[in-house]
Structure 1
Amino acid sequence: MTTAEFIREYRERDIRQLALQANRFPDVDMPYALDQIQGWQIARRKLPKWAACDGVIFPPHLSMEQCSSEPTAQYKLNLAMEWAERVGHASSMTDLTGGFGVDFSFTSCAFAAATYVERNEQLCHIVEHNLPLLGLNNAAVVCADAVEYLSTVEPQTMLFLDPARRDEHGAKTVMLADCTPDVVQLLPKLLEKSRFTMLKLSPMLDWHKAVDDLQGAVREVHIVSVGGECKELLLVLSTVVESELKVYCADLSTASGPSSLFVYTPGSSAPVTNSKLKTQNSKFVHEPNASIMKAGCFDELAAAYGVSPVSRNSHLFLSDEPVDGFPGRSFVVERVTTMNKGELRKALVGIEKANIATRNFPLSVAELRKRLKLKDGGDVYIFATTTAEGEHVLLISRKYR
């Protein structure tokens, strides 16, 4: 059995079990085969179009885990197309930190010509092999250091960078200046060489500080979530376009685009008055999506949707009526109770299991579940939080629609 035959036949198997059976297949390049099988299994989840393409070669595990998913790559393509139209130019782009090439394979479609730059020679060979299989014939592959190449490249419509976010010991970095290459140091050259630059950064990064560090060059901040988890922070830099900074909070559910998108200008709204919870009133409680939570735009959110925060640090919002299009999840509040034992006993009658979340609350989910003696799951949702008056309460709810 050849290595290629082995990969095709066993690609749905557990790679740990396959590794233990390596002696049964002396003619198979087992390290390579296991990389390909593991890569295909990850691609089937993150990159189904790539997984369905015969002949695609996958890189080692770390590159596969760090690469974009199809929905986030498609989002970047849409963003590149919008900005190319905005600057009236779509001739060329260069990805200075190509990696496995997922983002490049999408964003390059917005331009007449595209260049992939990567200092890892193995990744360059993989991408050079994969691009034609994916139908991309407008791309050049260059094995070079990003900083060195930037000094020689002709002006581009777009430059794209995804700086490495790990130090020499493999630990994650969350400061912009600690990433490689150092975008802050490269900023003058990036602005000189592009009509706009797109930066892909860690969702752990403090975007406010990143905007400050980039000295007024940031025009847009995009916080992108998939399936309730914040995945990417994108910054668009330009001196060609002068505009007020805008923040886009996108929650993606499919490859076709955002299922919810909230756009705001930082500092555009005054603080909204906290809500006063009343146990006798049925209200709706709203939980913002992960992008909103990362952005921290709670005043702007409250003003835009006419909702009131439970308290300044609860990150939960109430309304007397349903709120269409709220960027997050909405629930009908059936009961509100304090932590008083008698009140709790009465409020929890008939409830044996529930989904529990804590927001600005002294107990963890595990501690609260133990105290309430409730199993996990079901259609009841309990939000444990603290009101503006400092009272600990539980909002016993069910999903709205």
Structure 2
Amino acid sequence: MTTAEFIREYRERDIRQLALQANRFPDVDMPYALDQIQGWQIARRKLPKWAACDGVIFPPHLSMEQCSSEPTAQYKLNLAMEWAERVGHASSMTDLTGGFGVDFSFTSCAFAVATYVERNEQLCHIVEHNLPLLGLNNATVVCADAVEYLSTVEPQTMLFLDPARRDEHGAKTVMLADCTPDVVQLLPKLLEKSRFTMLKLSPMLDWHKAVDDLQGTVREVHIVSVGGECKELLLVLSKVVESELKVYCADLSTASDTSSLFVYTPGSSAPVANSKLKTQNSKFVHEPNASIMKAGCFDELAAAYGVSPVSRNSHLFLSDEPVDGFPGRSFVVERVTTMNKGELRKALVGVEKANIATRNFPLTVAELRKRLKIKDGGDVYIFATTTAEGEHLLLISRKYR
């Protein structure tokens, strides 16, 4: 059995079990085969189109875990197309930190000519092999250092940069200045060499600080979540386009579908007063999605959707009527109770299990679940929170629609 045959036949098996059986397959390059099987298994989840393409070579595990998923890569393609139209130019782009090439394979489709730059020679060979298989014939692969190449490249429509987020010891970095290459130091050259630059950054990074560090050149901030988890922070820089900063909070559900998108201008809304929560009113409670939580745009959200915050720090919102299109989850409030034992006992009659979330509450989920003696799961949702007056309440709810 050849290595290629082994990969095709055993790619759905547990790689740990396969590694233990290596002696059964003396003609198979087992380290390579296991890398490919593990890569394909990750791609089946993150990159189904790539997994379905025969002959694609996958890189070592770390590159696969760090690469974009199809939904986030598609989002970047849409963004690149919008900005290319905005600047009236779609001739060329260069990805200075190519990696495995997922983002490049998508964003390059928006331009007539595209260049992939990566200093890792192994990744360059892999990408050079994969691009034709994926139908990309407008691309050039260059093995070079990003900073050195930037100084020689001709002006582009778009430059793309995904700085490395680990230091020389392998520890994660979340400060813009600690990433490699240093985008702040490169800023003048990036602006000189592109009509716009797209930066992909860690979702852990403080986007306010990043905008400040980039000295008024950021035109858009995109906070992208998939399946309720914040995945990427994208910044678009330009000296060609002058505009007011806008923040886009996107929650993606599938490779081509944006389930919710909230756009706002920072500081555009006055603070919204806390809700005077009473047991008898507020029929709906709303929980913002992960992108909204990362953005911290709670006043803008409240103003846009006519909802009232429980309190400044609870990040839950109330309304008397349903709110169509709310960027997050909405629930019908069935009962509200304090932590008084008698009230709790009455409010929880018939509730044997529930999904519990705490927002600005003195107990953890585990501690509260133990006190309530309720199992996890079911279709009841309990939000434990604190009002502006300091009262601890439980909102016993069910999903709306």
TM-score where L is the length of structure 1: 1.00
SS in 1 for 2:208: helix
% identity of equivalent residues: 97
Residue 278 of structure 1 and its aligned partner are, at CA, apart by 1.1
Asked if the contact 2:282–2:319 (Cα under 8 Å) also holds between the matched residues in 1, the reply is no
Aligned length: 401
**Which stretch shows the higher mean deviation, 23-32 or 79-88?**
23-32
Residue 258 of structure 1 and its aligned partner are, at CA, apart by 1.1
1:68-79 alignment runs, 5 A limit: 68-79=68-79
Residue 257 of structure 1 and its aligned partner are, at CA, apart by 3.0
Residue 281 of structure 1 and its aligned partner are, at CA, apart by 2.4
Q: Deviations over 1:141-192 (max 9, x none)?
A: 0000000000000000000000000011111000000000000000000000
Asked if the contact 1:282–1:332 (Cα under 8 Å) also holds between the matched residues in 2, the reply is no
Asked if the contact 2:196–2:238 (Cα under 8 Å) also holds between the matched residues in 1, the reply is yes
1:6-25 alignment runs, 5 A limit: 6-25=6-25
SS in 1 for 2:94: strand
Alignment match, 1:280: 280
SS in 1 for 2:37: helix
Asked if the contact 1:286–1:331 (Cα under 8 Å) also holds between the matched residues in 2, the reply is yes
Q: 1: distance between equivalents of 2:205 and 2:257?
A: 24
Q: 1: distance between equivalents of 2:392 and 2:162?
A: 43
Residue 4 of structure 1 and its aligned partner are, at CA, apart by 0.4
Q: 2: distance between equivalents of 1:294 and 1:282?
A: 26
Asked if the contact 1:223–1:234 (Cα under 8 Å) also holds between the matched residues in 2, the reply is yes
Residue 282 of structure 1 and its aligned partner are, at CA, apart by 4.9
RMSD (Å), alpha carbons: 0.5
SS in 2 for 1:251: strand
Alignment match, 1:310: 310
Residue 280 of structure 1 and its aligned partner are, at CA, apart by 1.9
Q: 1: distance between equivalents of 2:336 and 2:184?
A: 49
Q: 2: distance between equivalents of 1:58 and 1:372?
A: 48
Cα distance 1:284–1:396, how it changes in 2: closer, same or farther (>3 A)?
same
Asked if the contact 1:7–1:37 (Cα under 8 Å) also holds between the matched residues in 2, the reply is yes
Q: 1: distance between equivalents of 2:281 and 2:307?
A: 15
Q: Deviations over 1:177-212 (max 9, x none)?
A: 000000000000000000000000000000000000
Q: 1: distance between equivalents of 2:152 and 2:35?
A: 35
Q: 2: distance between equivalents of 1:333 and 1:83?
A: 42
Q: 2: distance between equivalents of 1:329 and 1:35?
A: 39
1:221-240 alignment runs, 5 A limit: 221-240=221-240
Residue 277 of structure 1 and its aligned partner are, at CA, apart by 1.3
SS in 1 for 2:287: strand
Residue 267 of structure 1 and its aligned partner are, at CA, apart by 0.2
Q: Deviations over 1:100-130 (max 9, x none)?
A: 0000000000000000000000000000000
Residue 336 of structure 1 and its aligned partner are, at CA, apart by 0.5
Asked if the contact 2:282–2:318 (Cα under 8 Å) also holds between the matched residues in 1, the reply is no
Q: Deviations over 1:305-344 (max 9, x none)?
A: 0000000000000000000000000000000001010000
Determine if the alignment matches structure 1 residue 362 to structure 2 residue 335: no
Q: 2: distance between equivalents of 1:121 and 1:241?
A: 36
Q: 1: distance between equivalents of 2:192 and 2:18?
A: 51
TM-score where L is the length of structure 2: 1.00
Asked if the contact 1:282–1:335 (Cα under 8 Å) also holds between the matched residues in 2, the reply is no
Mark the runs of 5 or more structure 1 residues left unpaired by the alignment. Answer: none
Q: 2: distance between equivalents of 1:397 and 1:285?
A: 8
Q: 1: distance between equivalents of 2:385 and 2:106?
A: 42
Q: Deviations over 1:348-397 (max 9, x none)?
A: 00000000000000111011000000000000000000000001100000
Q: 1: distance between equivalents of 2:269 and 2:28?
A: 63
Q: 1: distance between equivalents of 2:386 and 2:25?
A: 61
SS in 2 for 1:36: helix
Cα distance 1:165–1:375, how it changes in 2: closer, same or farther (>3 A)?
same
SS in 2 for 1:124: helix
SS in 2 for 1:123: helix
**Which stretch shows the higher mean deviation, 97-106 or 256-265?**
256-265
Asked if the contact 1:74–1:257 (Cα under 8 Å) also holds between the matched residues in 2, the reply is no
SS in 1 for 2:225: strand
Q: Deviations over 1:253-279 (max 9, x none)?
A: 011131100000000000001111111
Q: Deviations over 1:73-121 (max 9, x none)?
A: 0000000000000000000000000000000000000000000000000
Q: 2: distance between equivalents of 1:83 and 1:118?
A: 24
Alignment match, 1:38: 38
Asked if the contact 1:223–1:291 (Cα under 8 Å) also holds between the matched residues in 2, the reply is yes
Residue 41 of structure 1 and its aligned partner are, at CA, apart by 0.1
SS in 2 for 1:322: coil
SS in 1 for 2:56: coil
